[in-house]
Homo-oligomer: A and B are copies of this chain.
Amino acid sequence: MLRIAVIGAGRIGQVHARTIAAHPRAELALVCDPAQGAAKDLADLHGARSCQDVEEVFSDPAIDAVIVGSPTPLHIPHLLAAAKAGKAVLCEKPIALDMRDVEEARTDLDAVGVPVMFGFNRRFDPSFAAVHAAVEAGRIGDLEQLTIISRDPAAPPLEYVKVSGGIFRDMTIHDFDTARFFLGDIIEVHAVGQNLDPAIEEAGDFDAAVVTLRAASGAVATIINNRHCASGYDQRLEASGRDGALLAENIRPTTVRLSNAEITDAQEPYLDFFLERYADAYRLELSAFIEAVEEGTTPPTSIADAIEALRLAEAATESARSGRPVRLG
């Protein structure tokens, strides 16, 4: 039974708390958030303790592992403090908003040597993982083109947009990791940012984008993002290879199809957002983390993955602003 503390009682912290509570080999021991009410409410919901000061998390001997779900600027400090305290860490994405903050952390972490994993949940989604496994098994021959469609149901509040680091660091970061998961090293990034919603433009961000990634292998990935989608959380992926193609389709609450005089075989809107859509992925991500901690193996995602995804986000940001592709070393 892994005793886990969750730092951050916001949306993502709630997801993790619930996943831990339902996991047969994990126990939600502690919830930490500077907002006392939020920490207590979430802790009470699952019968855990709560605290407001992160130091209590790091110094608590009854905590085996920490999930870092604090605001992004605190990811590195919390991650390092937990690791130095000997706790295993599962850290949310993105690792940071600026690459300059990251390299030092990497050196520090290497020195500590506890298991540290990063929350790229798409890798654990059963459908995406099945496509990846089939590609790796050679089912479609050499992978030539990867298409990722990722649209949120609705934009986050403007206050969040302003501190998010921008669409590429906040939203596309998952798709960058997915592209790397399938294609390995990326050598060139081109991004077209779109401003469909004037309020988001005023906040200094794009609310839609198309990103093209050229891989060292010669394959090309296309990422199509939008902060808004009428039909729900649109999450699809198509891997096209020399000998075939694999498509991961959207997920609906049921398999029901309606036909009438206007339409036939109409399905329901997609599951609304990441909590529902990636519920299985969060569960399997946690299992992978627990397994790595228990068995002392290397977790499936590393700080190198977090750094590379951030590097792609920075390159896309630069490309979308300058209008030019960015080559990576």
Interface residues of A (CB under 8 A from B): 22, 126-127, 130-131, 134, 139-142, 144-145, 147, 149, 151, 188, 190, 192, 194-196, 208, 210, 212, 214, 218-220, 222, 224, 226, 228-232, 240-270, 323-325
Would you call A264 and B256 a contact (CB within 8 A)? no
In the complex, A220 Cα to B212 Cα: how many Å? Answer: 13
Would you call B258 and A269 a contact (CB within 8 A)? no
Tell me the minimal C-beta distance from A242 to chain B in angstroms. Answer: 7
Tell me the minimal C-beta distance from A294 to chain B in angstroms. Answer: 19
Given A255-B251, A261-B231, A263-B266, do A210 and B218 touch, yes or no (CB 8 Å)?
no
A266: nearest chain-B partner, CB-CB: B266
* Chain A interface, DSSP helix/strand/loop, else mixed: mixed
Would you call A196 and B208 a contact (CB within 8 A)? no
Given A212-B210, A214-B192, A324-B324, do A255 and B264 touch, yes or no (CB 8 Å)?
no
In the complex, A99 Cα to B264 Cα: how many Å? Answer: 40
Would you call A144 and B194 a contact (CB within 8 A)? yes
- A241 — which chain B residues lie within 8 A by C-beta? 230
Given A196-B144, A212-B192, do A258 and B265 touch, yes or no (CB 8 Å)?
no
Sample of 18 more A-B contacts, CB < 8 Å, known A230-B244, A244-B260, A250-B255: A130-B254, A130-B256, A139-B260, A141-B230, A144-B208, A145-B224, A190-B192, A192-B220, A194-B218, A231-B260, A245-B258, A248-B254, A248-B257, A251-B255, A263-B266, A264-B269, A265-B266, A324-B325
- A140 — which chain B residues lie within 8 A by C-beta? 230, 258, 260
Would you call A258 and B253 a contact (CB within 8 A)? no
A-B contact pairs, 30 of them (CB 8 A): A127-B255, A130-B254, A140-B258, A142-B196, A144-B196, A144-B208, A145-B208, A145-B224, A188-B192, A192-B220, A194-B219, A195-B218, A210-B212, A210-B220, A228-B242, A229-B240, A231-B245, A231-B259, A244-B259, A245-B260, A246-B258, A246-B259, A247-B256, A247-B257, A250-B255, A251-B255, A263-B267, A264-B267, A324-B325, A325-B325
- A246 — which chain B residues lie within 8 A by C-beta? 256-259
